[in-house]
Amino acid sequence: MAYHPFLDFKQKCIIKTYIAEAKWAIIPMQPKNPLFQKCFNYLESLPHIEVAIQEEPYFSSEFLADGKLIIKTSNRSVNYVCEIKSGLTNDVIEQVTKYFYNLGGRLKHTERPLLVTRGLSNVVVEQLLKNNIEFIDVDGNIYLNSPEIYILVRNQVSKEGASKSLEITAAALQVIYAFLSQPNLLVEYDFDEEISHISGVTPNTVKNILKKLQNLDYIARRRGRYEIVDYVRLLERWELGYIERLRAKLLLGTFSPIEKGGFPEVKDKIKECAKQFNYLIGGELAASIMTDYLRPISATLHLINNSDSRQIAVKLKLKPDPDGDVVLLQTFGHVEYQLCDREKNQQNLVHPLLIHAELIRTGNSRLKETAQLIYDRYIEELAQKHDWL
């Protein structure tokens, strides 16, 4: 079975049979997810503990989590159910706190929730400590507080490492998208020009970005052409960057329906008007059309070229609302490469990569299974084409 890459934690450990004196050992294997791997490496670097992932992802009768982590000292062990969430700011700490309190209440008495995330600001770290939310981030901030283990580590990461993690710009993310979405690019003759055309980034900037991606070991120059080193790893990095940076650059506004019926009243109108008003449908609404699995409660509209966002809002009877369920984004690069070109009923849908990125953005467990279906049906095929080349 193929898993969504944020959930697809490559099996990391083999638990050996009990040896004399009733002790057991863990043999770790490195996880595929770069964010989780970096956090895992910090845990492994701590003295006198062993770490392993037990399940990948972790399923229970009530929820789906990103993984189950076991941390063991010489005579005690703790089972942590891990949730990966990025883009944490002080504004969302209250929601995150409620989420992890609720998650903790649904776990077995032998399990504890653990937040796995990107770099946290000092303000956010202090709030998480205050609310007793156990966490680990890619900068080496670690807080574990159970009866068995107590660990508090602050800011292990070096300035050099921090600057390297920030090298992926919005323009670089547009170039990465061109790689991920178009496997035939790897055999194009005028490679830089073609990437520029698809991504909307100038050829000179494309050249600089390709060098950067090589230095970060995301792509390699082999047999006279560029190749993706690891499709899933690059996809994961692109999705993190989309969530944290590229989406904010593309955001035109967030709206909610004027009518009292809410989103159900406007979803059919969104589908009917897509061609007329020059936008592509993404997010939950697109996922529901592609999979016939999800009952959508929101939509993301990707506006093409000079589409008038105000005119679209008026036609769909939408009003500005920062917490609204209809999001308008600008497309980037050449729109031909952001289209979903599958079945006839999907002609006005955006590319599965952009749909998938929107689904995983919130970390909502309701959307994880649908994201998995999108990955299995559409994105895995892209990964296999890259591997074949």
pLDDT at residue 354, as a whole number:
96
264 preceded by a cis bond (ω within 30 of 0) = no
pLDDT for residue 164: 44
pLDDT value for 31? 63
Adjacent-strand bridge partners of 301: 281, 328
What's residue 26's pLDDT? Answer: 40
Amino acid occupying residue 153: V
Q: pLDDT at position 274, please?
A: 92
Residue 62 CA: distances (Å) to CA of 111, 284, 301, 349: 14, 22, 32, 32
Q: To the nearest 10°, report the CA torsion of 322, 324, 330, 335.
A: 170
Helix-helix angle 203-215:170-181, to 10 degrees = 80
Buried (b) or exposed (e) across 54-68, using 16+ Cβ within 10 A?
A: bbbbbeeeeeebbbb
Does residue 241 contact residue 216 with C-beta atoms inside 8 Å? no
pLDDT of residue 345: 55
Region 162-245: CATH code: 1.10.10.10
Q: Class assignment of domain 251-388?
A: alpha beta
Residue 226: CB atoms within 10 A of its CB come to 18
Q: Which residue has the tokens 């956010």?
A: 124
d(CA 165, CA 172) in angstroms, rounded, equals 13
Report field, pTM of the whole predicted structure over 0.85: no
The whole-number pLDDT of residue 90 equals 73
For 13-160, CATH gives 3.40.1350
Q: What integer pLDDT is reported at residue 17 of this predicted model?
A: 28
Mean pLDDT in consecutive groups of 10 residues from the start of the chain, 389 residues: 37 30 43 76 85 83 84 89 83 86 90 91 87 92 91 64 56 93 66 88 92 86 81 86 89 93 92 93 95 92 90 95 94 87 70 93 79 89 70
Helix 231-241 / helix 34-45 crossing angle, nearest 10 deg: 100
Q: What residues does each domain of the chain span?
A: 13-160, 162-245, 251-388
The predicted structure's pLDDT at residue 60: 81
What is the structure's pLDDT at 82?
A: 92
User: Tell me, what's the pLDDT at 67?
Assistant: 85
